Structure 1
Amino acid sequence: MEVWIGRNGERHGPYQEEQVREWLRSGQLSPDDLGWREGLADWQPLSVLFPQDKPAPAPSPNSPPPLQQRANAVDFDYASFWQRFGAWVIDLIILIIPSLIAMYAFDGLEAYKHLLEQIQNGADMTAAMRTYAQATEAASVASLVITYLYYVFFEASKWQATPGKLALRLRVTDLHGQRITLGRSAARNVVRLSAAIFGLIPLICYLAITWTQRKQGLHDLWAGTYVLNGTAQEQPPQRPSREHGHFNA
């Protein structure tokens, strides 16, 4: 079981339960510090979560607790290249449906039939493809807009993920591990949209994941985002806040 810790208005973790118990017994964590683990509706004092683990006398001021040492270095579980690529493939399959609807609504299917007829009749291939591209321009634009809005709204939603990412238990966050705003999601997906226009997905967005330290694609670097393992529903319900010298989550 993993436990998140709330201290000084900040959220840290997650840590293994036995590690938290050990810190409680050694006095490196206070019973008044808040904790949260999956299944809880809200944050609870550690004294409530682990009533049998009594703290020892407070450690020396010269020995700061591990939690303070790591306050500025939260451990994130970054999604790998193949996880993200798999999520993209799932989303691509889902988006085929609205794309076909747009194609039908803007007479794209008729344009495709006409293209096949021209090929069968031995027409010039270059001219036939140019005619087809012009005939399906409206359908292509509609498909791009649908794809863009799909990513923008799903990644800024309470799920923090598209259906493809949800299927692989991934979520999109800002650099602090929090839910991104609609504006940040729009900026993130401008790069995706641009790449789609020039036919570079997944090349331009995803290859950077393989060499960047935090497995960020070009769109992540642009917007200041991460893609992490674990769904938003598996995270603490809210960020701890401090009021009147103690936590009140």
Structure 2
Amino acid sequence: MTDKQITGLTQAEVDPRIQNGQVNQAIDDQSKTATQLIRENVFTYFNLIFAILAVLLVFVGAWNDLTFLPVIVLNTIIGIVQELRAKKVLSKLNVMNATEIIAVRDGQEEKIPIEKLVQDDVVLLQTGDQIPADARVISGELRVNEALLTGESDEITKTKDAELMSGSFGVSGKAYAVLEKVCKDSYISKLTIEAKAMGSVEQSEMVRSINRLVKCVGIIIIPVGIALFSQSFFLNNIGLKR
């Protein structure tokens, strides 16, 4: 039985929160889709340079000089496969293991899937429970372990008005808490989204240096190529056909 002073939300209070999107559903903010990853690996400055070179070589009939093309294509395919595999692994990253939690609604305790909890829901947290969203203790006492979030293995006692971080575990005790931050606003969601982020900021110094080198070489190739062509065609009167 629930504490008689704790009635939780009514269904009439839950419905508008669901309509407003204040539901504790997992948010996948991974910025790049499979299509974007493929596009980024195909349409690169590096590939553009070699594509232009390939077209010019085909135009003049220099088929024997196209031996570099399979290497470029293979390099692009390998890059796409690696990033798609990384995306698949990251998409499985989930710090939340709990599936259901006891919530108080209309004065009654009932097990509710964590993705159906809403903001301001009152939940009962006991030994072994994982906190489903950022919450505040309103009654009782609970010792929690936040090692999954902070790396600190020390247990922390949470009493009335203490904050609970989503993703931490109840070690002992029992407490009622009100959910204050759900969905993407919760600490665990922000942590998961950050871990799934696949931005260029995460590139190593070596990769960034290679990218800068490729861009510089690519820029130099264009005027040098034009100069060599002009010298051969206009000064040395060497035509396109050998």
> TM-score under structure 2 normalisation?
0.22
Structure with max Cα Rg:
2
More strand by share: 2
Please report the TM-score for the alignment, with normalisation by the length of structure 1: 0.22
